[in-house]
Structure 1
């Protein structure tokens, strides 16, 4: 069979039938976890895109292309800065080798291409243009003769190219209003054709289609050989498959087409293009050749069909036979279609739908073909693999080709075509960055760049750097949080982890590669640590110290700012300490004693009752503290031993004295982290608050959290909240300031609904609820900075990370006493 493509110019393809198609890549849109209303909106956009073409042809292709894992990992290296650069390069190289050994050099990407036949405007059919067309016909005739006799070139008049280029620009502006599209180039066409002819192993972005052109006397000349170069392979046609032999590989390819659609395809849930990406573990390609039948012609065809069916019905009645149910059903369908076409004035569409399945051997091909048939069977679509038509169906995939066979045409409406989910996919994360895991539905690698949100990237729905890790105990939230912080530090970030459970004390031993950049501050109840968390010691500016001192002492004593008797007395004592030479929380008690009123003595007694309580001496000093907490290293962990955190269900009134002191400590450390945020803006910083719910429940903690989040956005810092419930993240104001979201397994229905609402997906949808309930350890619902939601499996790759970040208690081996 002759190759249909005559000439390629940018995204225009000229075929040998005198037709010109303009091809675009439809940038896939995220379709996972959309509500029914959002799906209907996408459906309507697509339906209008199809329906606006009153005439002509549309060619839609879904291809399983390849993308290079090595290239993505190398691209990720460009994001790395900071003192750990060399170690990070080493880690990424090890990561690359591990990924390649698991899934190969390339992974499958589904890409969507759509071509529209360009039709000449009526105004161009004038006497002058008729003359030009006659001239062109003679030129083509002579070119044909020359080619047969001596030539090997395709010649295209430049005026012809310019004429269609102008039309293509109008079409592109019309399409880009509804969808993100990218005009194709010669390399894209080269890849598509080579892929269809069995070439594998070259990533889509790396393919180079060498197509040299010569310009002569208002004509462009291209060697015919260069046009057909990507088709180079030996094809052996069998009855039900093609054998394609490239230099180093042999591929077996089978083609299916639709024989009949035996049931209704209910939208949503009939998005074939979307679901087949998740269904199959192997790549498949799909082509839709659509010929548009104008409304008038469609009505005429339908009415003729109706007459035929009525004749059959009459004939049966005359011969005393019952009309078959097939004829009755067909008559009903034709009536409905006629009414629909008459009212909407829409076109009809002649659809040729072909599915391409490939494999390395015949057994694998048979198995894959059976899977594809079963999948379509479940959707009430009967596929057929016609004998002897494999090469013809293969040609239907080639850009600008015509429909090969009329036996399997389906007459459909724009609604049907829009409901197939062309362009729908599940996308998560970035194109490069930190490899964190893979998409559980599609198997695609997921990369994150935690510092990207503040850059105002096109398409992002947030500029917030804060992140939330939520879920019940044991789902994997601490592990995944540790992993993201670790890699952010490797990539050049700086982090401070507030670790109230002291679970990260052995990181220097378990992470030897970066041990020199880990600083673990253990705030024990030893005398050496006395006053280390005193607001007047830990913060540099007296004004900040005073503010924190008020927060801590009102929190511990329960004195509200609305208490007109006690609050002014406490406030005055704190102010006096701030203005004196020597500053410390213990001196507030002295100032209150100096006041010597019943109220001041009562407050002094109350504060003094905390001073010698367990580890409270960390908070109280007379200002004579020589050591301080240093945050010079890239990864800083602050641990307070013996903290007793309140239960997440406890109300503030139920807090014990130890719990009050513990939360007070966290408030001081988090305020100290606020100082850390205000350091170098060029470095991405993370403040990681483990067990964040414990101080998000109290007024001082809430106010502090909002300050941390707001300051973080301005100072290139992300606040990571690790907590159990979505409700812990306070009001909508706080939730709207969170960019990346991770939700782990939850079994409580009320909590599941709140989590789904937090992620902006339909909380009443039973499938959504089921997904969250049935997540396994290390799996989570993730929402990226573009608002796309999907299910991810965190994948640490390295054994040492698994060991370092595992917070489970050790299992006692048999024989241990």
Structure 2
């Protein structure tokens, strides 16, 4: 007889008239949490077992994902440009293929709890069993079913009370008919993606027609050690394993014997039937068994024999258990059954052997019960009976298994960007973070050593954002982003490299007078090193020179006018200048001296190949119509990251940093001029260069601060997470990607940024990360180890910075 007879919303009735309420459990990403946080994830399920009494069923099922191209692009707002549509189609096809070939998986966890006794109703069934046909074995053919309104209303009321009791501690949702449909289909077709589900309905009877539709007319053929299921012209093999015994002790965290199934390279499903026994009743049972065990030990000693260690251990443990039961702890009896399946019998056998070995190494006794395979098969259906022997334990053992543990990381929809634990795919949707749905910052931080993969990830995000029509302005100190010329995006590259011919006017980077003044002032403060405590007079000179330039006509607002103003101050002091404050003649000599120093510095700079670049009358069109603008800063003399703390910045390096600052300021202005609702991306490679200087920190803080309201995704690529450990930046980061790190301090900084605990295990993982592997923290602060997998494959070669990609 099929275990499930009737359903009403999320309430399932079995043929015995017992009602079970079923819920879907949501897991919390867990693997890299601190111990106290892990306990807080596991504890709610244990708390449930303390307040609930009765029978329960936990279904731990794999969902093998098949996403059609239409489903994949459904949540993504793609560009309407014909060439970009073609590129998006190539990505979509490749991503869907990768998901199928990689057997992408998600985990579904269902909890069923028997409702308190309701008025029993009568089922009258007759079942005709035919050996070679699944339906005639599994279905109870309904002739007459009478469910009174009172019975249903009592079950609904009991379920409502139960849900209210649980929802405060567990992240649960009531199942729908689609969940029931999935459970039945998954239990029959336990390998590969499932066919489309049936249309929703709120109530119904599991009669022949419904089961036929759900099972696709499957035929079951039970064997001694497995079950063969015929699905049309295909034959599927399922085998079932059970716990015969478990370790005497496990830790309250980091021994997740159930959640560990997610790490296997093949899908494994599990069902746990459990019975929660009230402490008073359980204590009486324990006392009775303890007495029997003591009598056996006494008999052994009377016969001048010796009691077994197991007997003596049992008596000792019974005392501890009796004490716990007296304190209110319930007793749990649970039955665990695992299932592996494949369309190839040899593959099924190999997977079963691997699973048995996995648990035996952890001191679990796993058996493959011959002759009970059909019983195990039916135990996976809602409200079914156990298929294995029961084992008594405390509530902590079940919760420590990890039914509330999850491994998902990334966005809940969007572009496929890689893999995490086992076969779990990772998705990323540019702009989701800033949407009304999430309402958080979209800032992305990438850290890691050279060759770790952070530049590839930056370019992948640029590519995916470009497919959505995003406007992209990239600060490119290594001339890596020229590769976008080979992709179907309109692109402009501005050459501010050491060998470039472009000239830029620091006074013309913003159409807003106030911001134009601030950019020029900050640039000159940086170039003339005014931030030292003993250079207050120099700061005054710079501010005065900038103000005088801004008073000139627009065609004369440039660095040449700065030189003219400084020359005037050198000769005449502040006399003759239009000033908003009175002149202190006593300080004129110091002002003239500082003006002369600044004049000499800037005049010398104007004659150098690097310095002359800021003495342009106009400025490159940094805010054109192209979708991608890349500012090439290759071979600029920038400070070396490994020598930042050991040497002062040289004059040429200061000029290089100044140009990078101007490029970033120009990018900010371009972002502000673009339509506010248009998605915009601002990658800044070697972002630590700007974060090392006050002017750069202010600029990046402002970009991050306005990013949400202006729909901007800043991407900061840095060597170390400590570069981001700055007030106003650290707490305004949405996504974090930490690639390989080699030194303890770097790894500790990464852990702090990710929000995970540093330990020896994490240290070894960071140093052993391969290119493309990283730790990711998403906008929900979930952390997982991710392998970045650009799609299509040609992007990986195109984005390669190891020397394989040439112009």
TM-score by length of 2: 0.90
1:703 to 687, 698, 715: 698
C-alpha spacing 1:308/1:614, structure 2 compared with 1 (3 Å)? same
1:69/1:100 contact within 8 Å kept: no
C-alpha spacing 1:811/1:184, structure 2 compared with 1 (3 Å)? closer
In structure 2, C-alpha distance between the alignment counterparts of 1:260 and 1:570, rounded to whole Å: 80
Structure 1 unpaired stretches of 5+: 122-132, 214-219, 813-817
2:475/2:685 contact within 8 Å kept: yes
C-alpha deviation, 1:546, in angstroms: 1.6
C-alpha spacing 1:656/1:144, structure 2 compared with 1 (3 Å)? closer
C-alpha deviation, 1:251, in angstroms: 1.5
2:471 aligned with 1:487: no
2:422 aligned with 1:432: no
Partner of 2:138: none
In structure 2, C-alpha distance between the alignment counterparts of 1:560 and 1:261, rounded to whole Å: 67
In structure 1, C-alpha distance between the alignment counterparts of 2:83 and 2:179, rounded to whole Å: 36
Structure 1 residues 374-419: Cα deviation after superposition (integer angstroms, max 9, x where no partner): 11112211012222111122222111123356xx210111111111
Residues 211-226 of structure 1: matches in 2 within 5 Å?
223=207, 225-226=209-210
In structure 2, C-alpha distance between the alignment counterparts of 1:555 and 1:105, rounded to whole Å: 51
Partner of 1:109: 106
In structure 2, C-alpha distance between the alignment counterparts of 1:438 and 1:145, rounded to whole Å: 49
In structure 2, C-alpha distance between the alignment counterparts of 1:443 and 1:19, rounded to whole Å: 37
2:284 aligned with 1:304: no
Partner of 1:237: 222
1:70 to 62, 68, 71: 68
C-alpha spacing 1:561/1:771, structure 2 compared with 1 (3 Å)? closer
2:42/2:404 contact within 8 Å kept: no
Structure 1 residues 277-321: Cα deviation after superposition (integer angstroms, max 9, x where no partner): 10x211111111111211111111111111111111111111111
1:677/1:712 contact within 8 Å kept: no
Structure 1 residues 625-677: Cα deviation after superposition (integer angstroms, max 9, x where no partner): 37533432111101135411111132597112211110000111111111122
30-39 or 632-641, which moves further after superposition? 632-641
Structure 1 residues 715-769: Cα deviation after superposition (integer angstroms, max 9, x where no partner): 1101111111111124243111111111111111111111111110002x21111
C-alpha spacing 1:10/1:725, structure 2 compared with 1 (3 Å)? same
2:559 aligned with 1:585: yes
C-alpha spacing 1:66/1:207, structure 2 compared with 1 (3 Å)? farther
Partner of 2:392: 411
1:545 to 508, 513, 516: 516
2:611/2:655 contact within 8 Å kept: yes
Structure 1 residues 427-469: Cα deviation after superposition (integer angstroms, max 9, x where no partner): 0112321221222x322221101311122546xxx81111111
Residues 457-472 of structure 1: matches in 2 within 5 Å?
457=437, 463-472=440-449
1:803 to 770, 790, 797: 797
In structure 2, C-alpha distance between the alignment counterparts of 1:225 and 1:15, rounded to whole Å: 18
1:256 to 241, 245, 252: 241
Structure 1 residues 224-265: Cα deviation after superposition (integer angstroms, max 9, x where no partner): 643575354222222221111122321222222211124422
RMSD, aligned CA: 2.7
2:459/2:481 contact within 8 Å kept: no
In structure 2, C-alpha distance between the alignment counterparts of 1:119 and 1:781, rounded to whole Å: 46
2:60/2:271 contact within 8 Å kept: yes
2:488 aligned with 1:522: no
2:568 aligned with 1:594: yes
C-alpha deviation, 1:787, in angstroms: 0.6
Partner of 1:175: 166
2:433 to 433, 453, 477: 453
2:105/2:425 contact within 8 Å kept: no
Partner of 2:730: 735
Structure 2 unpaired stretches of 5+: 129-140, 574-591
2:77 aligned with 1:80: yes
SS at 1:468 equivalent: strand
2:317 aligned with 1:336: no
Structure 1 residues 2-53: Cα deviation after superposition (integer angstroms, max 9, x where no partner): 1122211111101111210000111222122111111111122111012110
TM-score by length of 1: 0.89
2:334 aligned with 1:351: yes
In structure 1, C-alpha distance between the alignment counterparts of 2:522 and 2:678, rounded to whole Å: 30
In structure 1, C-alpha distance between the alignment counterparts of 2:501 and 2:768, rounded to whole Å: 49
Partner of 2:719: 724
Question: How many residues get paired?
Answer: 767
C-alpha spacing 1:731/1:384, structure 2 compared with 1 (3 Å)? same
In structure 1, C-alpha distance between the alignment counterparts of 2:714 and 2:49, rounded to whole Å: 45
2:191/2:343 contact within 8 Å kept: no
C-alpha deviation, 1:557, in angstroms: 1.5
In structure 1, C-alpha distance between the alignment counterparts of 2:127 and 2:764, rounded to whole Å: 68
In structure 2, C-alpha distance between the alignment counterparts of 1:302 and 1:479, rounded to whole Å: 61
C-alpha deviation, 1:223, in angstroms: 4.9
2:198 to 189, 203, 208: 208
C-alpha deviation, 1:789, in angstroms: 0.8
